[in-house]
Amino acid sequence: MSLRAALNSVNGEKVAIKKIGNAFDNIIDAKRTLREIKLLRHMNQENVIAIKDIVKAPQRDIFNDVYIVYELMDTDLQRILRSNQTLSHDQCRVLVYQPLRGLKNVHSANILHRDLRLSNVLLNSKHKLKIGDFGLARTTSDTDFITEYVVTRYTAPELLLNCSEYTSAIDGSPDNSSLSFFRSDNAIRYVRQLSRYPKQQFAARFSKMQPSAIDLLEKILAHRKTFLLCIVDEPIGHAYLSSHHDVDNKPVCPTPFSFDFEHLSCTEEHIKELIYKEFVKFSSDH
């Protein structure tokens, strides 16, 4: 896979073109490509990366590479936070609020991202933030969630520890009272062997943060799974974000996304056929 910046010669728009070479050599990778195309065509929210075009293959039988055109983003949250740039309080609010809006939209479409990390939170020069890379996404009702590799530099603990259930709050660490939702005895033993640390006093550790920011941090990092279920709904309306929050502008997806195609017994050729149909649909819609 390769990604290159380009210029749309028709309208002058800057875009990013992702080439998936030999896209059908591996059925898992082919499914990821199909999944992302279908999912992003379904989504339409300002904090979720958008597909601008899919380069249609000249013939259905002879194409092996897939070219997807996205809106161009300049950097990602990982690079921002690792830089020497000093962020103002308001910039911090923007960097917290926009991903929450994107996640609210994703979760309302019955989708779990499952690979949400700093490098997948993209940013442009206008400080518009968008969530990208939905190749590992699943439905919220899908319990068979670890059937393909999910090995990245960051993976949510619930996935690594083979939990019996996971929700739109795949984040944080469970306490002892929540260990019952691990379905692996080895995972339970491992967690119990971890060193215990006293609760961090965030107000002392982050003395320059505003009290409302400390309160939001405390609530987001709560270890109780019952609270984590509200990881988007409650923080998005928190006092710390009130200057950006518009209660009348709810980022809710009007229709849930269907993963029915995931349950089909697909061969590489079948997936190629489905992706070609996505080419045709996109061309007819645009």
- Which of the residues are catalytic? 115
Which residues pair with residue 111 across a beta bridge? 139
> Two tokens at 181?
């939702």
Side-chain half-sphere exposure of 128, counting CA atoms within 13 A: 12
DSSP state of 48: B
Rg (CA), the chain: 20
Q: Which class for 67: exposed (0-12), middle (13-18), buried (19 or more C-beta within 10 A)?
A: middle
Q: Which class for 19: exposed (0-12), middle (13-18), buried (19 or more C-beta within 10 A)?
A: middle
CA-to-CA separations, 261 to 127, 205, 264, in angstroms, rounded:
35, 48, 5
Q: State which H helix or E strand residue 148 sits in.
A: none
CA-to-CA separations, 85 to 79, 80, 111, 128, 172, in angstroms, rounded:
10, 7, 33, 17, 27
